[in-house]
Amino acid sequence: MIPTFAIAGRLTREYLLPPNGSPRLDAPGGCSLYAAGGLAVWDSSIALISKITPAYPDEWLDDLKSRGLDTRGIYVDRDLENADPRDFIAYTETNERSHSNAVSHFSRREMTFPKSLLGYQPPEELPNPLRDTDPLSPDSLRVPKEYRDIRAVHLCPFDFTSQGQMVNLFKGGSIQILCLDPDPSYMNPSLRRDLRMVLLGVNAFLPSEEEMRALFWGETNDLWEMAHKVGEYGPGIIVIKRGAHGQYVYDAAAKRRYEIPAYPARLVDPTGAGSAFCGGFLAGYQRTNDPLTAALFGNVSASLKIEGTGPFSPLDALSGLAEARIHSLREMAREI
C-alpha cells in the first residue's frame, strides 16, 4: 500500500540535554522523526525518506516499523563509513540552545561525559550552500518509485541542492501539497533568486522567523511584507514559525493573513517543536485543504511536543486532547 504522507529529512544519533526531564544520550533523532511524531498525532500512514550509515542501529529501524511507519525509503549508504550522524543539543540556564562545548554542558550538570560522544564537533557550514551537499541528506535517486505518487510530502531542512532535487522529483506527480522547511544555510539575500527557482514547485513554505528575517536582512523588518514577497515566488501558503509567539499564516491565493498564538503548554523540551508543527500542518492540510486549519493542527502538534522529550512524545498525550486543543485554539486565532 502507498502511504498517505512522505517526510524527507536527516536521521541523527541524538545527544540531548533538555531544559527539564531526562537526557537522551545516543537516541534516534533528526528533523524527520520530529516531523513524523507531529504528524502521527493525526495519522500514522507515513513514509520516511532518509539516508543512514551502516552503523545505524537495526533496533531503531525496527521501532519505526513497529509504530506503523514505512521505512522502505530509508537507504543504507555503505560509502558513509566516515560520516558523523551525531547531533548534540543542550540548553543553558536561560533556555538558550547550544550545539557546541559539549564537555562544559555535561560538567555544568555534573554528568559523566559519554564515551560515545568523544571527538564530536558541530557540523561545519557548507562552503558553497548552493552547490555543496551534505552526505547524510536524503537522495532523490533512492526514493522508491511507489512513493512518487504520494500526494502529501514534507521536506525537512537539508542542503539546498538535495532539497531542490527532491522538489523536482515530487512536483511532477499527483501532488496535493508539497511543504518545505528551509535550511538556514541558504536563507540570505544573496541567494534569494536561487531559492525562488526551487519555490516554484512548492505549495507551502514553512520558515522560522529568524530564517525569514535573515532572507530579507537589510531590506525590511515587516514579516507580512516578507511573506507577501515569498508568495510571489510561487508558494500559495507561507507560515512563519515564531516559537513561543505562535505563527503568522499568509494565504497568498486568498490574500488573507492570520495570527495564531502558541497554545499554552508546559515547557519540558522545545527540541523539534518546529518540525512537529510541520508534520501536524501537513496532516491538517491533507485533511481539510485549508491553510488556517492546517496551521492549527501544526500548532497543537508543537504544543504536545514541548510537553515531552523525544520525537514521538506527542503520541503519549491523552486520547482526545489534540482535538480539544484544536477547538480551543481556533477561538484564539485571528484574521489581520
Residue 88 covered by a domain: no
Residue 167 covered by a domain: yes
Helix (H, G, I), strand (E, B) or coil at 72: strand
Q: Which of 330, 270, 331, 268 lies closest to 297 in space, CA to CA?
A: 330
Q: Which of 239, 225, 229, 246 lies closest to 300 in space, CA to CA?
A: 246
Residue 43 confidence (pLDDT) above 90: yes
Sign of the torsion angle spanned by Cα atoms 33, 52, 176, 206: positive
- Which pLDDT belongs to residue 190? 93
Domain holding 312, by residue range, is 5-9+32-74+129-335
Residue 292 covered by a domain: yes
What is the identity of the amino acid at 270? P
Q: Which of 8, 173, 26, 135 lies closest to 74 in space, CA to CA?
A: 8
- How far is Cα of residue 326 from the mean position of the Cα atoms in its chain? 21
Residue 26 covered by a domain: no
Residue 211 covered by a domain: yes
Q: Which residue has the higher pLDDT, 174 or 331?
A: 331
pTM to 2 decimal places: 0.97
Grade residue 82 by pLDDT with cuts at 50, 70 and 90: confident
- Which pLDDT belongs to residue 191? 93
Residue 241 confidence (pLDDT) above 80: yes
Grade residue 63 by pLDDT with cuts at 50, 70 and 90: very high
Spatial distance between the Cα atoms of 241 and 211, rounded to a whole number of angstroms: 9
Helix (H, G, I), strand (E, B) or coil at 120: coil
pLDDT in tens, 187-196: 999 999 999 9
Average pLDDT over residues 49-78: 97
- Number of neighbouring beta carbons within 10 Å of residue 325: 21
Average pLDDT over residues 104-127: 93
The overall average pLDDT reported for the chain is 95
Domain count, the chain: 1
**Which residue is associated with the grid cell 564537555?**
103
Residue 144: exposure state from Cβ atoms within 10 A (0-12, 13-18, ≥19):
middle
Residue 83 · residue 53 · CB < 8 Å: yes
- Which pLDDT belongs to residue 46? 98
Q: Which residue has the higher pLDDT, 126 or 57?
A: 57
Residue 276 · residue 302 · CB < 8 Å: yes
Residue 98 covered by a domain: no
Cell readout for 59 is 533496533
Residue 116 covered by a domain: no
- Which pLDDT belongs to residue 254? 94
DSSP strand pairing (86-91 vs 12-17): parallel
Spatial distance between the Cα atoms of 40 and 140, rounded to a whole number of angstroms: 24
Measuring CA to CA, how many Å separate 95 from each of 18, 193, 207, 221, 270? Answer: 9, 35, 21, 25, 9
Residue 178 confidence (pLDDT) above 80: yes
- Which pLDDT belongs to residue 298? 98
Spatial distance between the Cα atoms of 120 and 241, rounded to a whole number of angstroms: 30
Spatial distance between the Cα atoms of 63 and 248, rounded to a whole number of angstroms: 35
Grade residue 1 by pLDDT with cuts at 50, 70 and 90: confident
CATH of the domain at 314: 3.40.1190.20
pLDDT in tens, 262-310: 999 999 999 999 999 999 999 999 999 999 999 999 999 999 999 999 9
- What is the percent of the chain with per-residue pLDDT over 90, rounded to a whole number? 91
Residue 200 covered by a domain: yes
pLDDT in tens, 145-176: 999 999 999 999 999 999 999 999 998 778 89
Residue 34 · residue 325 · CB < 8 Å: no
